[in-house]
Amino acid sequence: FLSLVGQFCCGFFLILILGNFWFLAVLYLLWLYLDWETPCAGGRRSQWVRGWTVWKYFREYFPIHLIKTSDLNPNHNYLLGFHPHGVLVAGAFGNFCTGPSFKNLFPGLTPYLHIMPIWFGCPFFREYIMSAGMVSASKESVSYVLNNKGGGHASVIVIGGAEESLNAHPGSLTLNILKRKGFIKMALKHGAHLVPVFSFGENELFKQVANPRGSWLRNVQEKLQKIMGFALPLFHARGIFQYSFGLIPYRQPIHTVVGSPIPVKQNLNPTTEEIDQLHALYLQKLRKLFEEHKRNYGIPEHKSLIFE
């Protein structure tokens, strides 16, 4: 959905340039130049946009639920690791960028969903996604959010990134996380408490063309991902009036479970060993969160997370 909106915004900007409104395009480019750093400085959210009625219908379509397992003290800052990426990242968008669920469950905390910086170079689209509470996933942006002295900020990072979307097959429990330790280092540097988040049902929204590791398709997708910065999963789901083929996601419930915080003491210069130790603890807590809740959401007892 966000990609379609982005394409529309880029098309509209092109019309301004080629049409008789080129001067508006020039004014916007000037604004873009002056406002370029805003996505790395907390963004510019709009409660009006976050409360649009369309998001209510979006959440109810699947439906999307946010489940709390522990209190999060608003006097601290938090780094929430979201898993898995899926194709749509519907749970992250629905729970942290729309509606009152997060605010009601975790009063005093403001969530910031970090996404790829490339999206903030798209004319007009950048204004739209910032208004929903999305900010850049750059180090500068994460530092800005977590550096809030009074606490009350929550960085939400989809740890597996775009690469993990290539594993988003129904029933898949494979997470790209073993080599991803940058978020651990950021948490240590800022003393932000770590919170594992698992979104059950995220991989059930689409069917993806088979692309096992080593296949020609997977090799092409991984090369394109390295070049462009985002992945191109070949997926399909249902149509508007039929259920056999289309790009509308299947109506599958999404339950985003927010785990208990892992206390982190600030360490401005963490060693590799300290990062590895906290990373291992995070994996342990993430696996525990999954195991404790999988029965509630239809995951067979013999199924477990696979870390890559």
Residues 305 and 303: their CA atoms lie apart, in Å, by 7
* pLDDT tens, residue by residue, 189-215: 999 999 999 999 999 999 999 999 999
Q: Cβ atoms within 10 A of the Cβ of 3, count?
A: 11
Question: What is the structure's pLDDT at 240?
Answer: 85
- Supply the pTM of this predicted model: 0.92
Question: What is the structure's pLDDT at 135?
Answer: 98
Is the dihedral angle over the CA atoms 81, 86, 87, 92 positive or is it negative?
A: negative
Question: What is the structure's pLDDT at 247?
Answer: 87
The length of the chain is 308
Residue pair 248/238 in contact (Cβ under 8 Å)? The answer is yes
Question: What is the structure's pLDDT at 17?
Answer: 62
* pLDDT tens, residue by residue, 79-125: 999 999 999 899 999 999 999 999 999 999 999 999 999 889 888 88
Question: What average pLDDT does the chain have?
Answer: 91
Question: What is the structure's pLDDT at 3?
Answer: 52
Residues 40 and 203: their CA atoms lie apart, in Å, by 29
* Amino acid letter for position 178: L
Question: What is the structure's pLDDT at 5?
Answer: 54
Q: Say what percent of the chain tops pLDDT 90.
A: 77
- The CB-based long-range contact list for 287-293 (8 Å cut-off, 24+ gap) reads 289/69, 289/196, 289/198, 289/257, 289/259, 289/260, 290/173, 290/198, 293/67, 293/198, 293/200, 293/255, 293/257
SS3 state at 132? coil
Question: What is the structure's pLDDT at 32?
Answer: 86
The second-level CATH assignment, the architecture, of 40-307 is 3-Layer(aba) Sandwich (3.40)
Residue pair 80/154 in contact (Cβ under 8 Å)? The answer is yes
Question: What is the structure's pLDDT at 22?
Answer: 64
Question: What is the structure's pLDDT at 230?
Answer: 74
Question: What is the structure's pLDDT at 9?
Answer: 53
Closest-CA residue to 102 (of 182, 45, 144) = 45
At a CB cut-off of 8 Å and minimum separation 6, what does 292 contact? Answer: none
Strand ranges inside the chain, DSSP E: 64-68, 78-83, 110-115, 134-136, 153-158, 174-175, 193-200, 207-208, 235-236, 254-258, 306-307
Question: What is the structure's pLDDT at 198?
Answer: 98
Residues 106 and 18: their CA atoms lie apart, in Å, by 47
Question: What is the structure's pLDDT at 224?
Answer: 85
What residue spans in the chain does CATH classification 3.40.1130 cover? 40-307
Which DSSP letter does residue 40 get? G
What's the count of helices (H) and strands (E) in the chain, helices before strands? 12, 11
Q: Cβ atoms within 10 A of the Cβ of 129, count?
A: 24
Q: Which helix (H) or strand (E) segment is 33 a member of?
A: helix 22-34
Question: What is the structure's pLDDT at 291?
Answer: 98
Vertex 118 angle, CA 163 and 17, to 5°: 140
Residues of the chain with pLDDT under 70: 1-23
Residues 174 and 171: their CA atoms lie apart, in Å, by 9
Report in angstroms the alpha-carbon separations of 27 from 17, 22, 23, 141.
Answer: 11, 9, 6, 26
Which DSSP letter does residue 63 get? T
